[in-house]
């Protein structure tokens, strides 16, 4: 049976989130032939670019340009397209026009699966805002009476990727995604991000730990790296898994 080609949308509050938290999922999907589209709501220019701001004479324009380039390179390595909505961060702000753009993109990409942030993160309210905007846009994109060039979308699953401090966000793992065979791509994408090497080590270690957990939870012993995701909606399927 020929495998169906899926469309995956990754809805990222800041332009780095998708790499650290969902890089494996993106590479895995792209590798099997799916279309993967990363939507970055902001560049994380104010809140998540410490490395750049520590450089002498840094300007906002430069931060945004560099962050855009880094994210574009990372996405390319992972195999995803990118849309940068440039809505500002800390705080992220999504007005009516930006919201309509999000709806249009969902209709254009017709995703089977959407990856985004958790609903409650006390450390980072931009992440919550992205979650809320995504759920609202998904609803509008489904509405028959919202008439646009592209037709309504179906009922894509929403997966929430792992936040930085999962136990403070009520994050409970539903899927340990085996990213063993694409981890080198995730690593290369992380290396684009201009972040300190300790962050790359952090997420490499996390992938190894999640890999160990995958094996302990019944996964194949060949798994060495994994990513944790939580699901919002029920899975529909014909197998008892």
Site residues (CB under 8 A) for a second copy, limited to 161-220: 165-168, 170-178, 202, 205, 209, 212-214, 216-220
Positions 89 through 108 that interact with a second copy (CB under 8 A): 89-91, 99
Nearer to a second copy, 85 or 135 (CB): 135
Q: Quick check: 88 and 98 in contact, CB under 8 A? A: no
CA dist 75 and 39 (Å) reads 11
Regarding 77 and contact with a second copy (CB under 8 A), the answer is no
Regarding 57 and contact with a second copy (CB under 8 A), the answer is no
CA dist 24 and 19 (Å) reads 8
Taken as a whole, the chain contains a residue count of 241
Closest distance to a second copy from the beta carbon of 186 (Å): 14
Regarding 148 and contact with a second copy (CB under 8 A), the answer is no
Antiparallel, parallel or unpaired: β 7-12 and 113-116: parallel
Nearer to a second copy, 56 or 234 (CB): 234
Determine which residue in the list 17, 35, 70, 126 makes contact with a second copy, applying CB under 8 A. 126
Please say whether the dihedral angle defined by the alpha carbons of residues 185, 21, 126 and 105, taken in this order, is positive or negative. Answer: positive
Determine which residue in the list 94, 106, 118, 140 makes contact with a second copy, applying CB under 8 A. 140
Q: Quick check: 223 and 177 in contact, CB under 8 A? A: no
């Amino acid at each position: 049976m020929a495998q169906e080609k899926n469309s995956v949308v990754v809805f990222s509050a800041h332009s780095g989130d998708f790499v650290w938290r969902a890089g494996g999922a993106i590479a895995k999907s792209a590798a099997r032939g799916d279309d993967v589209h990363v939507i970055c709501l902001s560049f994380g220019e104010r809140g998540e670019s410490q490395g750049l701001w520590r450089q002498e004479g840094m300007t906002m324009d430069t931060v945004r340009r560099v962050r855009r380039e880094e994210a574009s390179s990372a996405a390319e390595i992972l195999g995803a397209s990118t849309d940068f909505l440039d809505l500002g961060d800390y705080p992220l702000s999504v007005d009516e026009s930006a919201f309509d753009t999000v709806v249009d993109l969902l209709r254009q990409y017709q995703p089977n699966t959407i990856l985004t942030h958790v609903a409650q993160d006390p450390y980072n309210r931009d992440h919550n805002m992205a979650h809320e905007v995504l759920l609202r846009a998904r609803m509008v994109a489904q509405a028959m009476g919202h008439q646009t060039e592209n037709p309504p979308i179906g009922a894509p699953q929403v997966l929430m990727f792992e936040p930085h401090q999962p136990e403070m966000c009520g994050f409970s793992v539903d899927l340990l995604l085996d990213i063993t065979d694409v981890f080198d791509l995730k690593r290369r994408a992380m290396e684009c991000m201009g972040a300190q090497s300790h962050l790359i080590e952090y997420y490499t270690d996390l992938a190894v730990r999640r890999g160990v957990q995958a094996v302990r939870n019944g996964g194949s012993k060949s798994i060495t790296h994994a990513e944790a995701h939580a699901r919002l909606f029920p899975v529909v399927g014909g197998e008892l898994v």
